[in-house]
Amino acid sequence: MLCRLMVGIKKFARENIFHILILVFTGAVVLYQYKIEPLENERIYLRTIFPFFREVYDYSFGKLPFAFVYLLFGIVLLWLAKGAFDIVKFVKQRKFVTPILRFVSSVCWVYASFYFLWGLNYKNRPLQYQLNLPNITVDSTMVYEEAAHLIGVINEMRDSLSSDTCYLDITLYSPTTEDTIRQSLVSLLESWYLPHEGRVRVRTLKPKGILLRISTAGVYIPYAMEGHIDAGLPKLQWPFVMAHEMSHGYGITDEGECNFVATLACANSSDPYIQYSGLLAYWRYMANSLIRVAPSLGMKLVKMRSPSVKNDSESIINLLNTYPDIMPKVRDKVYDTYLKSNGVAAGAESYGTIINLMQRWKASSHNRPLFEKLYGVKEP
Q: Which pLDDT score, from 0 to 100, does residue 350 have?
A: 46
Q: Which pLDDT score, from 0 to 100, does residue 237 have?
A: 96
Q: Which pLDDT score, from 0 to 100, does residue 380 have?
A: 45
Q: Which pLDDT score, from 0 to 100, does residue 96 have?
A: 72
Distance CA(59)–CA(80), nearest Å, equals 29
* Exposed e or buried b per residue across 337-374, where buried means at least 16 C-beta atoms within 10 angstroms of its C-beta: eebeebebeebbebbbbbbbbbbbbbebebbeebbeeb
pTM, whole model, 2 decimals? 0.91
Residues 375 and 272: beta-carbon distance below 8 Å: no
CA-CA distances (angstroms) from residue 248 to 70, 191, 255?
Answer: 20, 18, 8
Type of residue found at 201: R
Q: Which pLDDT score, from 0 to 100, does residue 341 have?
A: 65
Beta strand segments in the chain, E: 202-205, 218-221, 226-230
Q: Is the model's pLDDT at 148 over the cut of 80?
A: yes
Please compute the mean of the pLDDT values over residues 95-115 and round it to a whole number. Answer: 88
Q: Which of 75-79, 141-145, 181-185 has the highest mean pLDDT?
A: 181-185
Tens digits of residue pLDDT in 176-194: 999 999 999 999 999 999 9
Q: In the predicted model, what is the mean pLDDT of the chain?
A: 88
Concatenate the DSSP letters of all residues of 84-150 into one string: HHHHHHHHHTT--HHHHHHHHHHHHHHHHHHHHHTGGGGGSPPHHHHTT-------HHHHHHHHHHH
Question: Which of the four pLDDT bands, split at 50, 70 and 90, describes residue 44?
Answer: very high
CA-CA distances (angstroms) from residue 81 to 77, 109, 132?
Answer: 6, 17, 50
If one compares 79 and 118, the residue with the highest pLDDT of the two is 118
Q: Which pLDDT score, from 0 to 100, does residue 274 have?
A: 97
What region does 71 belong to: left with phi over 0, alpha with psi -120 to 50, or beta?
alpha
With the C-alpha atoms ordered 299, 305, 308, 309, is the resulting torsion angle positive or negative?
negative
The residues, ordered by sequence, that sit 6+ positions from 356 with a Cβ below 8 Å of its Cβ are 138, 256
Q: Which pLDDT score, from 0 to 100, does residue 328 have?
A: 62
Tens digits of residue pLDDT in 255-293: 999 999 999 999 999 999 999 999 999 999 999 989 888
Q: Is the model's pLDDT at 249 over the cut of 90?
A: yes
Q: Is the model's pLDDT at 198 over the cut of 70?
A: yes
CA-CA distances (angstroms) from residue 221 to 31, 69, 275?
Answer: 24, 8, 26
Please compute the mean of the pLDDT values over residues 137-160 and round it to a whole number. Answer: 93
Calculate the CA 27 to chain-centre distance. Answer: 27
Distance CA(230)–CA(203), nearest Å, equals 9
Tens digits of residue pLDDT in 322-368: 998 876 666 556 656 655 666 555 444 445 689 999 999 999 989 99
